[in-house]
Amino acid sequence: MTPSDTPRSPNPESPAGQRQHHWQQVYESRPSDQLSWFQTAPTLSLSLIRSSGIPLSGRIIDVGGGSSNLIDHLFTTGYRSLTVLDISENALAQSKQRLGPAASQINWIVADILAWNPEQHFDLWHDRAVFHFLTQPEDRQLYVTALKAALPPEGTAIIATFALDGPERCSGLPVRRYSPQTLAAELGNEFTLIETATEDHPTPSGAIQHFVYCRFQRRP
């Protein structure tokens, strides 16, 4: 699998350019293990991926994967058709450095999910903590459009957001909080809610963030 080329950067004055600048700065400002969403082991994500029944040959994309070590765990488990997409090149560079030689076997995409046109289908879409940053309806619709373009019928989508009692802001930005039902409504009737779980995530600073995880299957 050949790592993707870095696409042309957006106009820095555009909304996409501002989003990219923000996340580039976030990953330059602190080590990954000091960022609020850091997890030593992404236990719940891994559990839901296993529950999906996806084989080791399955194609998995981690949307907004940044410097998350989910991809390390998946690679160690034996998955080889792995893609990580993030708006921040800095974040992906940290993951590549951490993985060492194994990074050459991962497909890395620097892109804004709101403007991304997938070139292939994936069997499983994973997103922990991207969707809740989309506070505008039109941005959520663009996300769902990308999801539908990437995920074929019967494909799996695992999306984690702040729960209804989660934080109202993160990384200096406002967020939207969800229940499983309101998240399902955002995706629409092409997706069936299969499984839900909650997580009390301890941040490196000692705070607790309440997450809700949902596993969906796209209808045939």
pLDDT of residue 3: 44
Beta-bridged to residue 63, according to DSSP, are: 85, 127
Q: How many CB atoms lie within 10 A of CB 161?
A: 27
What is d(CA 88, CA 25) in angstroms, rounded to the nearest whole number? 9
Please identify every stretch of the chain with a pLDDT value under 70, giving residue numbers as ranges: 1-13
Measure CA 44 to chain center. 14
pLDDT of residue 35: 83
Q: Which whole-number Å values give the CA distances from 156 to 33, 39, 67, in the listed order?
A: 28, 23, 22
Beta-bridged to residue 174, according to DSSP, are: 169
What is d(CA 39, CA 151) in angstroms, rounded to the nearest whole number? 26
What is d(CA 27, CA 13) in angstroms, rounded to the nearest whole number? 20
Please, where are the H alpha helices in the chain? 15-29, 43-51, 70-77, 89-99, 137-150, 180-187
The highest-level CATH class for domain 15-218 is alpha beta
pTM > 0.85: yes
**What's the pLDDT tens digit per position in 86-103?**
999 999 999 999 999 999
Q: Where are the chain's structural domains?
A: 15-218
pLDDT of residue 106: 98
CB 85, CB 65: distance < 8 Å: yes
User: Which residues, at least 6 apart from 35, have a Cβ–Cβ distance to it below 8 Å?
Assistant: 26, 27, 67, 171, 204
Q: Taking each helix axis as running N to C, give the angle between helix 70-77 and helix 89-99, from 0 to 180 degrees, rounded to the nearest 10.
A: 40
